[in-house]
Amino acid sequence: MLSVEEKILEIRSKMTADLESVSSSEGLTRLWGEYLGKSGCVTMLSRELGKAAPADRPALGKAINALRGWAEEQFKAAESAVKQRELEERYLREAVDVTMPGEDLPVGGLNPVTIVRRQLIDVFGGLGFKVYEGPEIEDDYHNFTALNTPMEHPARDKQDTFYINDDLLLRTHTSPGQIRVMESWEPPFKVLVPGRVFRCDDDATHTPMFHQMEGLVIDKNLSLCDLHGLLDTMAKAMFTPDTKTRFRPSYFPFTEPSVEVDVSCCECGGKGCSLCKGTGWIEILGGGVVNRKVIENCGLNPDEWSGLAFGFGLDRISMLKYGVNNIHILFDGDTRILSQFKK
């Protein structure tokens, strides 16, 4: 049988070897149990002290205590070495290369109708126009009667308009915004009324909901020349600086005279192509000098105040500008389409 001294020597050399080869915190904890735990070999050695001759006990006790002290030191040193190594490994494992390109999150873009609405507000805003948004649910008076639309006008037909009851309907155009502004604002003023409008219509170029933007100027002595100047400035800003504008006579109940406004084709510059159907011109809006009856309906004196009005289809302009050939594409919410309009 080995003497206590021999056992101490054996434990020292075995422990030194074990601690040299240990590589993880778990391994270290297990080794600590084997040597210094409740039934570890160093602890067991103290228990054997009782078997030694009484005269030898003090010296052996001292030697065992020294062994325990030494072992504890060794474990402390081994522990900090293992911790340091583990930390270095973790740094390597979790290292972030900040120079790597980021992951692209799938983001869409603004709807082309929103882009066009903002551009128009920007252009007219620069000319002193304010923005007003009227209600989408209108009454018959603001949508039709005040705008001088006769009782027998086809737009009043149940086939064309979404009626809620005999008096309320989904506005069929943004023109009622003109009436609401004239009723409540002090002239002179310039206003834009962008918004959603609704008609019973659905094919490649029509959806039951679409977007318009109304323009109204109320001031003294306004004429078609002023309207032409305004719309020419707008067309040059929205399309290209050499875009031309022309007026064609037309009819709207709320303007007199009324015009339809064409711009030189943004695709061929006026030479004639499939977009402008060979004419070199594209119709983009309707407008005119506000009918005296409409001014009167809003409580203003038509001998004192005159008005210019115009109305755009925002969807149509977006389709023209961005080469969209089916209006439904604008409203399907397909990110493959919208992501093409990312800034």
Which range of residues in 37-45, 179-187, 220-228, 304-312 is near ligand DAH by CB under 6 A? Answer: 304-312
Q: Give the x/- contact pattern for ligand DAH in 230-259, rule: CB under 6 A.
A: ----------------------x-xx----
Whole-Å CA distances, 122 to 168, 203, 279, 289, 316: 33, 31, 30, 23, 18
Contacts within 8 Å (CB) and 24+ apart, 275-282: 275/320, 281/246, 282/320
Q: Which of 146, 235, 265, 309 binds ligand DAH (CB under 6 A)?
A: 309
Question: Contact between 148 and ligand DAH (CB under 6 A)?
Answer: no
Q: Which of 310, 314, 315, 327 binds ligand DAH (CB under 6 A)?
A: 310
Instruction: Decide whether 207 or 338 has the Cβ nearer to ligand DAH.
Output: 207
**Distance between CA atoms of residues 314 and 112, nearest Å:** 9
Amino acid letter at 14?
Answer: K
Question: Contact between 213 and ligand DAH (CB under 6 A)?
Answer: no
Give yes or no for a contact between 200 and 161, defined as CB atoms under 8 angstroms apart. Answer: yes
Question: Contact between 173 and ligand DAH (CB under 6 A)?
Answer: yes
For the bound state, the minimum distance from the C-beta of residue 251 to ligand DAH, rounded and expressed in Å, comes to 10
Whole-Å CA distances, 321 to 115, 208, 317: 11, 22, 6
Q: Which of 111, 148, 161, 175 binds ligand DAH (CB under 6 A)?
A: 175
Q: What is the CA radius of gyration of the chain?
A: 43
Six token digits for residue 31 = 């080794």
Which range of residues in 22-30, 81-89, 264-272, 303-311 is near ligand DAH by CB under 6 A? Answer: 303-311
Q: Which of 19, 288, 314, 319 binds ligand DAH (CB under 6 A)?
A: 288
**Distance between CA atoms of residues 125 and 191, nearest Å:** 9
For the bound state, the minimum distance from the C-beta of residue 242 to ligand DAH, rounded and expressed in Å, comes to 26
Question: Contact between 281 and ligand DAH (CB under 6 A)?
Answer: no
